[in-house]
Amino acid sequence: MRYEQVGFSREGQLPADSAVCGIPGRAVKFSLQGVQLLDTGSSPALQRIQQQLLPVPPAQLEAYVARQVADNVGDCTETEKSAWVSYNADHLLSVTSLEVVFAFGAPHPTHHFTSMTFDLRTGSQLRLADLLRPGYEQPLRQLLTNRLLADPSYGDFYRGEQEEGQQRWLDEAGRPQQLVPLPAEGFVLTPAGLEFTWNEYTIAPYVMGPQSVELSYADLRRLVRPSGPLAAVVARHK
């Protein structure tokens, strides 16, 4: 699938924004860089994907960014939205989006990742259940847990908190878990495997940043649906 990066950036006005926000020398900013699919033509499938990759049609992006600046003056923020393709083959497209927001006066910006994988033939966003066999959840969580704890930085942090009686791995009801929860942010395909990312504060404090784990296709072979969208990809990775 052919695609290109498109984007626009706009700043507010000084000193007007500074007066509203109470921070001298700062103006509201909004930047957007996204993925535009080319040759979508009359394909409803590709058009559905494009609608999820950009907030408005590409021709309206510049006006959209200008509106965000005008609407966000009272919010007093600098916002950067970016996106990139991590996989584009086998009729599959994976895109990661990152939103960075800095609120004037805050000690640091916030970062939020979102991951999406699409079937280019149907236009559907794929879930793990579309790629993996039923009952994949526990084995997948075990693989992710093993990889996280094998990382010296995260492993030492986690064991230190355990010794202090703290627990960051919680289910939706707030109950402690022995295996790391699957990230709500989704997953992407890469040339080497599936990558999972937990946003900051999810399983670690801000200072450690977002946490990512890539599981190789070989690691996932026994979990992959034999006739699913990922089968051909896994077959090439012995």
Give pLDDT tens digits for 126-137.
999 999 999 999
pTM above 0.85, yes or no: yes
At 182 the pLDDT is 95
At 15 the pLDDT is 67
Rounded distance, CA 133 to CA 135, Å? 6
Burial class (CB in 10 A: 0-12, 13-18, 19+), 209: exposed
Rounded distance, CA 197 to CA 33, Å? 20
At 214 the pLDDT is 97
Task: Give the residue among 24, 18, 10, 14 at the shortest CA–CA distance from 79.
Answer: 10
At 73 the pLDDT is 64
At 164 the pLDDT is 80
Mind listing the pLDDT tens digit of every residue in the chain (238 residues)?
Answer: 999 999 999 988 766 667 777 777 778 899 999 999 998 988 999 999 999 999 999 999 999 999 998 877 667 889 999 999 999 999 999 999 999 999 888 899 999 999 999 999 999 999 999 999 999 999 999 999 999 999 999 999 988 988 887 888 888 888 889 999 999 988 999 999 999 999 999 999 999 999 999 999 999 999 999 999 999 999 988 7
Token representation of residue 30: 């909004």
At 53 the pLDDT is 97
At 65 the pLDDT is 94
pLDDT single digits (tens) 164-196: 878 888 888 888 899 999 999 889 999 999 999
At 37 the pLDDT is 96
SS (H, E, C) the chain: CCEEEEEEEEECCCCHHHHHHCCCCCCCEEEEEEEEECCCCCCHHHHHHHHHHCCCCHHHHHHHHHHHHHHCHHHCEEEEEEEEEEEEECCEEEEEEEEEEEECCCCCCEEEEEEEEEECCCCCECCHHHHECCCCHHHHHHHHHHHHHHCHHHHHHHHHHHHCCCCCCECCCCCECCCCCCCCCCEEECCCEEEEEECCCCCCCHHHCCEEEEEEHHHHHHHECCCCCCHHHHHCCC
Rounded distance, CA 54 to CA 157, Å? 37
At 174 the pLDDT is 83
At 115 the pLDDT is 97
Domains of the chain: 3-126 (3.30.565.40), 129-235 (3.90.640.20)
At 162 the pLDDT is 83
At 66 the pLDDT is 92
At 106 the pLDDT is 87
Which residues, at least 6 apart from 21, have a Cβ–Cβ distance to it below 8 Å? 28, 76, 104
